[in-house]
């Protein structure tokens, strides 16, 4: 194919100047705000945040105090952090690499712009279905705990994660054949390369199935799981509050009965009986103190396990809520607008520019969803904050030693005083 290469740039500039309308100007401004500035900044933050997520979640996973279901949830969160990290990396490269209509040689930028869209889409749908799998496991663990003991395990979670990665990769293979690199030979013998869509490539059916399988079904499932989890957590807190109030009232009645018994014994007994009563009360107090210590240790362990359960559940609920706020509305808007308006990519009418504006905003929202999980984990997960603090606070390892030495010195001082 022969082309007058020296006039291509001038032709593109003249066409762009003639087609500068209010819609095109608005589209350029919003593209600069959201795509050229917002997406690179959010993606860079997401790279750092997801890297920290990998460090903290991996360190928490090897903690033996976690139960089997909590470790399964951590495996899913680690897989999600890997997928989000790769999405942020590819999105950052997609926005900072120089994009041109034509290239004078086959370089890495050209190949990335050709194939990068497929890889970005893979990590988007992969993260979406990983969230669905984790939400389903947490739904079973909280709402159906007996069934979850049979269905949820470390091995099954690893298999589910591998299946999600494999199915999402197979589903994105058609995207890599949607466009191709076209070579053009100029009059002077030089060659130019550009990326064009394949002729006769009809992807209407694929886009319809794509929207159903990777947009609407995951969002409906996540909405159902999240509503059930929030309702179950609310009922559990309400039951715990009622039990706490009942225990406090029983304790008040118990103390009042003891006080009444002591008053009766004082008025009706002699000095010897008072001595016997005091010794008996001391023995009872000693026994109750020992029982309280044992029950306190058991309740402390139970509170620790409950805290881990609540932290993981709250984390997943927050991740799902963020996804439903940032991703689901954007997908619905894109789907409805594309179906209700005629979008012409060749003549670029006003609907084309409005569609591009919607894409810029929704792409920024998706990037934000995959980049701010670090802030989300710090806000709702107390265990995550503690582990993050231990990773970066190097002076903390010296504190227990100092405390032990101080306790030993105090113990020796008391021994000398007794002698």
pLDDT of residue 239: 81
Cβ-in-10-Å burial (0-12, 13-18, 19+) of 277 comes to middle
* Residue 258 vs residue 117, higher pLDDT: 117
pLDDT attached to residue 308: 47
Mean pLDDT of 80-102: 90
Least confident of 32-41, 96-105, 283-292: 283-292
Pick the range with the lowest mean pLDDT from 99-103, 109-113, 176-180, 220-224: 99-103
Q: How many angstroms separate the CA atoms of 130 and 143, rounded?
A: 20
Mean per-residue pLDDT for 72-89?
93
Q: CB under 8 Å to 203, separation ≥6 — which residues?
A: 174, 178
Q: Answer whether residue 44 shows pLDDT above 90.
A: yes
By mean pLDDT, which of 69-73, 285-289, 296-300 is the weakest? 296-300
- Among 7-16, 95-104, 304-313, the range scoring the smallest mean pLDDT is 7-16
- Band (410; pLDDT cuts 50, 70, 90): very low
Element counts in the chain: helices (H) and strands (E):
15, 3
The residue with greater pLDDT, 4 or 417, is 4
Say if residue 15's pLDDT is above 80. Answer: no
In order of their start, the domains of the chain are 2-8+20-201+341-407 (1.20.1070.10)
What is the pLDDT at residue 130? 94
- Percentage of the residues of the chain whose pLDDT score is greater than 90: 25
Beta carbons of 225 and 139 less than 8 angstroms apart:
yes
Strand order in the sheet with 179-186: 2-3, 179-186, 191-197
Name the phi and psi angles at 242, rounded to 5.
-65, -40
Q: How large is the average pLDDT for residues 61-89? A: 84
pLDDT at 305: 43
At residue 356, the pLDDT reads 86
* Residue pLDDT, tens place only, 222-240: 999 999 988 888 887 788 7
Whole-Å CA distances, 39 to 36, 91, 129, 318, 335: 7, 7, 23, 22, 22
Q: How confident is the model at residue 45 (pLDDT cuts 50, 70, 90)?
A: very high
């Amino acid at each position: 194919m022969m082309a007058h290469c020296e006039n291509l740039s001038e032709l593109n500039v003249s066409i762009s100047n003639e087609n500068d309308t209010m819609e095109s100007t608005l589209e350029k401004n919003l593209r600069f705000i959201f795509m050229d500035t917002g997406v690179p900044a959010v993606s860079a933050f997401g790279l750092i945040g997801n890297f920290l997520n990998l460090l903290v979640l991996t360190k928490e996973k090897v903690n033996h105090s976690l139960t089997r279901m909590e470790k399964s949830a951590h495996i899913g969160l680690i897989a999600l952090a890997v997928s989000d990290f790769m999405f942020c990396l590819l999105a950052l490269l997609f926005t900072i690499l120089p994009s041109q209509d034509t290239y004078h040689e086959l370089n890495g930028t050209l190949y990335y712009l050709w194939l990068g869209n497929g890889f970005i889409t893979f990590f988007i749908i992969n993260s979406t279905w990983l969230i669905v799998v984790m939400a389903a496991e947490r739904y079973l663990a909280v709402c159906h705990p007996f069934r979850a003991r049979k269905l949820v395990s470390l091995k099954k979670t690893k298999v589910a994660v591998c299946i999600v990665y494999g199915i999402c990769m197979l589903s994105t293979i058609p995207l890599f054949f949607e466009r191709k690199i076209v070579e053009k030979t100029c009059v002077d013998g030089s060659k130019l390369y550009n990326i064009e869509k394949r002729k006769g490539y009809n992807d209407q059916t694929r886009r319809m199935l794509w929207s159903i399988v990777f947009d609407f079904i995951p969002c409906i499932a996540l909405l159902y799981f999240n509503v059930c989890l929030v309702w179950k957590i609310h009922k559990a807190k309400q039951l715990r509050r009622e039990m706490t109030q009942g225990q406090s009232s029983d304790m008040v009645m118990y103390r009042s009965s003891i006080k009444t018994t002591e008053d009766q014994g004082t008025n009706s007994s002699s000095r010897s009986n008072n001595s016997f009563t005091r010794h008996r009360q001391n023995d009872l107090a000693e026994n109750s103190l020992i029982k309280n210590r044992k029950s306190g240790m058991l309740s402390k362990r139970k509170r620790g396990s409950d805290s881990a359960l609540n932290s993981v559940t709250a984390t997943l609920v927050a991740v799902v809520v963020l996804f439903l706020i940032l991703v689901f509305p954007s997908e619905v808007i894109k789907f409805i607008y594309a179906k209700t308006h005629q979008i012409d990519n060749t003549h670029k009418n006003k609907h084309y520019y409005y569609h591009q504006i919607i894409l810029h905003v929704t792409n920024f929202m998706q990037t934000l969803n995959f980049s701010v999980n670090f802030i989300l984990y710090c806000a709702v997960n107390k265990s995550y904050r503690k582990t993050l603090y231990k990773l970066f606070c190097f002076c903390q390892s010296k504190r227990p030693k100092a405390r032990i030495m101080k306790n030993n010195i105090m113990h020796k001082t008391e021994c000398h005083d007794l002698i």
